[in-house]
Chain A
Amino acid sequence: MNAPAPGLPGSGLPASRLPASRRSAAAAIRAGTGARIGLVAVALIASALFPLVFTNQLVLSMAFFTLIYIAAAVAWNLFSGYCGYISLGHAVFFGSGAYAAGIAARDLQITGTAEFALLPLAGAVAALIAIPFGLIALRVRRHTFVVITIAIFFIFQLMAFDLKTTGGTAGLYAPFLVWGPVVFNQRFYYMALLLAAATVLIGWLVRRSRFGLQLRAIRDDEDRAASLGVRAMPVKLTAFVISATLTGLAGGLWFFFVGQVVPDSGFNPIFDLTVALMAFLGGLATVAGPLLGALIIEPAQQDLTSQFSNGYLSQILLGALFLAVVLFLPRGLIPTVGGQIQVWLARREPHLPAAGRGSNEPAADQQAQASGAVAEGTSL
Chain B
Amino acid sequence: MTALLATERISKAFGGVHALSDCTIEVEAGSITGLIGPNGSGKTTLFNVITGYERPDAGDVYFAGRKITNASPQRVFADGIGRTFQLTRIFPRLTVLENMLVAAQHTSNGHGRARNPLARAGGPADRHRAMELLEFTGIAKHASALAGTLSYGQRKLLELAYVLVADPAIVLLDEPAGGINPSLVHLIADRIRELNAAGKTFCIVEHNMEFVMGLCQHVVVLDYGTVVAAGPPEAVRDDPRVLDAYLGIAEDDDEPVE
In the complex, the answer to whether A229 meets B141 with C-beta atoms within 8 Å is: no
**Complex Cα–Cα for A230 and B117 (A):** 12
**Residues on the B chain within 8 Å of A269, using CB:** none
Q: Residues 191-231 of chain B: 1 if any A CB is under 8 Å from the residue's CB, otherwise 0?
A: 00011011110000000000000000000000000000000
Residue of A nearest to B134 (CB): A3
In the complex, the answer to whether A228 meets B144 with C-beta atoms within 8 Å is: no
In the complex, the answer to whether B102 meets A375 with C-beta atoms within 8 Å is: no
In the complex, the answer to whether B102 meets A21 with C-beta atoms within 8 Å is: no
In the complex, the answer to whether B197 meets A211 with C-beta atoms within 8 Å is: no
In the complex, the answer to whether B141 meets A210 with C-beta atoms within 8 Å is: no
In the complex, the answer to whether B119 meets A216 with C-beta atoms within 8 Å is: no
In the complex, the answer to whether B145 meets A1 with C-beta atoms within 8 Å is: no
Q: Does B136 have its Cβ within 8 Å of any Cβ on chain A?
A: yes
Given contacts A213-B101, A375-B146, contact A230 B74 (CB under 8 A): yes
Q: Does B239 have its Cβ within 8 Å of any Cβ on chain A?
A: no
A351 to chain B: closest CB distance in Å?
Answer: 17
**Residues on the A chain within 8 Å of B118, using CB:** 205-206, 209-211
In the complex, the answer to whether A213 meets B74 with C-beta atoms within 8 Å is: no
Q: Does B66 have its Cβ within 8 Å of any Cβ on chain A?
A: no
Which among B4-12, B38-46, B88-96, B249-257 touches the partner chain?
A: B88-96
In the complex, the answer to whether B73 meets A209 with C-beta atoms within 8 Å is: no
Which among A33-41, A178-186, A311-319, A360-368 touches the partner chain?
A: A360-368
Q: Does A149 have its Cβ within 8 Å of any Cβ on chain B?
A: no
| Interchain pairs with CB closer than 8 A, number | 149
Q: Tally chain B residues at the interface, Cβ within 8 Å.
A: 58
**Residues on the A chain within 8 Å of B85, using CB:** 224
Q: Residues 343-380 of chain A: 1 if any B CB is under 8 Å from the residue's CB, otherwise 0?
A: 00000000000000001010011011101111110000
Task: Bin the interface of chain A by size.
Answer: 35 or more
In the complex, the answer to whether A209 meets B121 with C-beta atoms within 8 Å is: yes
In the complex, the answer to whether A227 meets B51 with C-beta atoms within 8 Å is: yes
Residue of B nearest to A372 (CB): B144
27 inter-chain pairs at a CB distance below 8 angstroms, sorted by A residue, are: A6-B164, A7-B167, A8-B198, A21-B141, A205-B118, A208-B120, A208-B121, A210-B101, A210-B119, A210-B120, A210-B122, A213-B94, A213-B98, A213-B105, A213-B122, A216-B91, A216-B94, A221-B89, A223-B89, A224-B85, A229-B74, A229-B105, A229-B106, A371-B144, A371-B146, A372-B95, A372-B145
* Interface residues, chain B, with chain A CB atoms under 8 Å away: 51-53, 72-74, 76-78, 83, 85, 89-95, 98, 101-103, 105-106, 115, 117-122, 128-129, 131-133, 135-136, 138, 141-146, 149, 162-164, 166-167, 187, 194-195, 197-200
* Interface residues, chain A, with chain B CB atoms under 8 Å away: 1, 3-8, 11-13, 19, 21-22, 25, 205-206, 208-214, 216-217, 219-221, 223-232, 285, 359, 361, 364-365, 367-369, 371-376
